[in-house]
C-alpha cells in the first residue's frame, strides 16, 4: 500500500501544486520511485505528463458532461539528478495514474588501493 506524501518523499522531490481533492501517493523502490494520483472520472485523453528542465508536470482537464463546470488538476515535481528522466513511464487504470521514475544506475566504484613501494 502506498503512503501519502511524507517527509521521506519530500527529501527527494520538492513539489508545488494547486490544492485539490485529488490524492497523491508515492513509493520508493530499489530502482525507482512510483507516483500514483487518484484521478477518478478522468479519461486517459484528459491527462498530460511533461518533463522539462528536470520538472515533471502532471495536468488533467475535463469538461463535466453532467454540469457546466470544468474539472482540472495540476501538479509539478522538481526531479533530482539521481533519476533517469529519459525512461519515465506511466499507466492509467481504473482512475489511478501511475508514473514510474527510474533511478539512474549507480556508477561502479573504480577505487583501488595503491601500494607504497
The answer for residues whose C-beta is within 8 angstroms of residue 89's C-beta and 6 or more apart is 99, 100
Query: How many Cα atoms sit within 13 Å of 107 on the Cβ side?
Result: 4
Residue 57 lies in a domain: yes
Task: Choose among 111, 90, 115, 106: nearest CA to 39.
Answer: 90
Residue 108 lies in a domain: no
Residue 107 lies in a domain: no
Mean predicted confidence (pLDDT) in 55-68: 81
Residue 113 lies in a domain: no
Distance of alpha carbon 102 from its chain centroid, rounded? 10
Domain span holding position 64: 3-102
Mean predicted confidence (pLDDT) in 91-103: 96
Angstrom CA distances, 112 to 75, 107, 115, stand at 45, 15, 10
Residue 66 lies in a domain: yes
Residue 109 lies in a domain: no
Residue with cell 519515465: 88
CATH number, position 18: 2.60.40.790
User: In the structure, what pLDDT confidence band is assigned to residue 18 with cuts at 50, 70 and 90?
Assistant: very low
Per-residue pLDDT of 62-83, as tens digits, reads 876 665 667 888 999 999 999 9
Structural domain tally of the chain? 1
Residue 39 lies in a domain: yes
Query: β-strand 47-52 against 55-63: which pairing, if any?
Result: antiparallel
Report whether pLDDT(14) > 80: no
Amino acid at each position: 500500500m502506498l503512503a501519502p506524501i511524507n517527509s521521506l518523499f519530500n527529501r527527494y522531490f520538492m513539489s508545488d501544486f494547486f490544492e485539490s481533492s485529488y490524492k497523491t501517493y508515492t513509493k520508493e523502490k530499489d530502482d525507482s520511485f512510483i507516483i500514483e494520483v487518484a484521478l477518478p472520472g478522468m479519461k486517459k485523453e484528459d491527462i498530460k505528463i511533461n518533463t522539462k528542465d528536470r520538472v515533471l508536470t502532471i495536468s488533467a482537464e475535463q469538461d463535466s458532461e453532467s454540469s457546466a463546470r470544468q474539472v482540472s488538476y495540476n501538479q509539478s515535481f522538481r526531479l533530482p539528478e539521481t533519476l533517469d528522466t529519459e525512461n519515465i513511464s506511466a499507466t492509467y487504470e481504473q482512475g489511478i495514474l501511475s508514473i514510474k521514475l527510474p533511478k539512474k544506475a549507480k556508477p561502479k566504484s573504480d577505487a583501488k588501493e595503491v601500494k607504497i613501494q
